[in-house]
Amino acid sequence: MSKISNEELVHKAVITTDTLATGGKLNDAQSDRFIDYVVDETVLKNNARVVKFRNENLTIDKIGIGNRVAVPKEEAKDPGVRRGINTSKITLTPREIMVPFEIGDNFRELNIEGDQVEDTIIRLMSTRLGNDLEELYVHGNKLGPAVLENEIHEDGASNQYVKDSYLSLQDGWNVLADSGHIVDAEGQNIGLSLFSRAIRAMPTKFRRNKANLRWYGPSDLSQIYQEKLSTRATSLGDDAARGSAPIAPFGIPYVSVPLWDFNARIVEHVTLTGTTAVSLKNGPIVSGSVVVTPTTLGATPVAPYAESTDYTVDYAAGTIVRAGGGNIGSGATVKVTYRAYPELILTHMNNFIVGIGRDIRIEKDRDIYKGVNQYAITAKVSVLFEEDDAIVKVRNIGMGV
């Protein structure tokens, strides 16, 4: 049987204008193929456990064995104890997302593909959805980072901020990994000693089989490490310079996540009292990257608090101080958004869980007054780690070679 290309896969999933006109809800087989397509377009393929579900919440059973199970055996004598297993559950709570877009009559009539352009655009939107999901899985933060309005809306203000409501849908892996084992690099550049510290921070029971472990991090961080290797006057250095050898420190493959920002955007809610310095969870942080706004920040653009006037930052130490006489009252809690030094996660390749609901709708409508066809792709998604104890997160990695 011949293999089906991604483009054919989406087409065979009946994501076409003719089918959309009949209702838009994909059946189970179509949903599965659509989910496979979206996942195949991201780094999640082969690097995460993708769970398809129907219900509002998905509960996954965890089974483990805690302490020692072996006991001494005496001849013809019952040891008097029985060992059991530990059971627990984790719950994926999905959030609904939508991809809304319009295609105008003039564009559809005048472009080279004619009416078929609608099917092409739907496939492009599906591909972009995969990228957006990957961004949410990595950088999601329920607190909602402050972003310039023109990052969200093309005609938005370039000097006022709004809450990124998409990334605030749920916490992503970068936030969830804070529940694991933390290694603070304190500005140390990437290298074997840092990788070794991360490995040693993981409980032995999770690192016995290195074949199942993976490093996850920004593509630029792996590029820096590869550049570092290339300076060696060895065959490994030559291979690194040619890019012919995979990056696998201590035998653990490095998975480059393209949408993982080299300097990830971090958001915290911090209470500033008097002129007492408050430590942020990252430090050092990228100079000039701090934005301070009210915690009530929403869709209405606001001007941020002014550095030096309302607060001061020690970027090397990663601390923030309220400035006396400014617009931030003593004891006020504010939203602090900033760019961190690179971060890295070490965990089991199946510890990442991505939940995608099968109730996927791809619907079409018509606005006769505007002369456009309107579309909406709707899905439910969730993300979680199965075992926090199997996670090591390295923070504050230096940005040099």
pLDDT beyond 60 at 351: yes
Three-class SS state of 167: helix
Q: Is residue 104 part of a domain?
A: yes
Q: Is residue 383 part of a domain?
A: no
203 and 332 share one domain = no
283 and 236 share one domain = no
pLDDT in tens, 90-126: 777 888 888 887 777 776 665 655 566 666 777 777 7
Q: 188 and 172 in contact (C-beta within 8 Å)?
A: no
pLDDT the model gives residue 6: 41
Greater confidence (23 vs 139) lies with 139
131 and 11 share one domain = yes
Q: Which two tokens stand for residue 72?
A: 């001494």
How many CB atoms within 10 Å of residue 203? Answer: 12
1 and 121 share one domain = yes
pLDDT the model gives residue 393: 98
270 and 335 share one domain = yes
334 and 247 share one domain = no
pLDDT the model gives residue 2: 40
For range 259-272, the mean pLDDT: 96
d(C-alpha 106, C-alpha 388), whole Å: 53
pLDDT in tens, 227-262: 888 876 566 565 666 665 678 999 999 999 988 999
Greater confidence (374 vs 263) lies with 263
pLDDT in tens, 368-385: 888 888 888 888 888 888
pLDDT in tens, 386-399: 889 999 999 999 99
256 and 200 share one domain = yes
124 and 110 share one domain = yes
Q: 384 and 81 in contact (C-beta within 8 Å)?
A: no
What is the DSSP-derived secondary structure letter of residue 285? B
pLDDT the model gives residue 116: 67
Q: What is the secondary structure of 109-139 as a DSSP string?
A: HHSTTGGGHHHHHHHHHHHHHHHHHHHHHHH
Confidence of residue 62 (pLDDT cuts 50, 70, 90): low
310 and 323 share one domain = yes
Mean pLDDT of the chain: 83
For range 285-299, the mean pLDDT: 97
Greater confidence (335 vs 107) lies with 335
Q: Where are the extended beta strands (E) located within 263-360?
A: 265-272, 278-279, 291-294, 311-314, 319-322, 332-339, 344-348, 352-357
CA distances from 111 to 106, 115, 126 (A): 8, 9, 21
pLDDT the model gives residue 9: 38
18 and 118 share one domain = yes
Greater confidence (73 vs 156) lies with 156
pLDDT beyond 50 at 65: no
In this structure, of 163-172, 203-212, 359-368, the range with the lowest mean pLDDT score is: 359-368
270 and 334 share one domain = yes
Report the share of the chain in percent with pLDDT over 90: 46
Global confidence as pTM: 0.81
Q: Where are the extended beta strands (E) located within 123-264?
A: 146-148, 161-163, 181-184, 213-218, 254-257
For range 130-146, the mean pLDDT: 92
In this structure, of 152-161, 344-353, 376-385, the range with the lowest mean pLDDT score is: 376-385
In this structure, of 13-22, 69-78, 282-291, 310-319, the range with the lowest mean pLDDT score is: 13-22
**Cβ-count burial of 110 within 10 angstroms (0-12 exposed, 13-18 middle, 19+ buried)?**
exposed
Domain that holds residue 98: 1-66+77-139+354-375
